[in-house]
Structure 1
C-alpha cells in the first residue's frame, strides 16, 4: 500500500483517482466509480464526489492508497 499526502481537509474521490494516474481522465474516473470498481475503507462506494480524508484507504484494481494529512 502506498500513501498520498493531501494539503487540504479532503480530496474528492474522482480527483484522487486522476492525481494518482489510476485513470486517464475525469470521465473514466466517474465511470469506474459508477461501475462499483472503487472501494473506500474496504466498502464499494458509488459517490463520485465522496470526500476522502486522511486515514482513509482507497482501492482500485490491485492498487491501494492511504491518505495522510
Structure 2
C-alpha cells in the first residue's frame, strides 16, 4: 500500500487512522503503544512519531510505503 503525503509529515497514529486500519484514533494509539507497529523495520513506540517520505510502516501483514 502506498500513502501520498500532503504535508511534510503525518503523525503515526493519524496515518493508521486515515488508512482505516482501525476504528478510532484511540485504537491506533493502542497498536503503537503495544509495540505492534514497525517503522523502517524497527518497533516504533511513539504515537506521534513524524512519518516522512521514504518511511515504511508495517502493521501485521500490512506494509505502507510513504511517498512525498
Task: Identify the TM-score tier after normalising by the shorter chain.
Answer: over 0.9
Cα distance in 2 for partners of 1:27, 1:9 equals 23
Give the aligned length: 68
In structure 1, the residue corresponding to 2:21 is in which secondary structure?
Answer: coil
**How far is 1:61 from its partner?**
1.1
1:13 is matched with 12
Deviations 1:3-50 (A, max 9, x none): 110110000000000011111101101111000000000000100000
Q: Which structure 1 segments of 5+ residues have no match?
A: none
Cα distance in 1 for partners of 2:46, 2:21 equals 17
TM-score normalised over the length of structure 1: 0.96
Q: Does 1:42 align with 2:41?
A: yes
C-alpha RMSD of the superposition: 0.5
**Runs of 4+ residues deviating >2 angstroms:** none
Q: Which structure 2 segments of 5+ residues have no match?
A: none
In structure 2, the residue corresponding to 1:49 is in which secondary structure?
Answer: coil
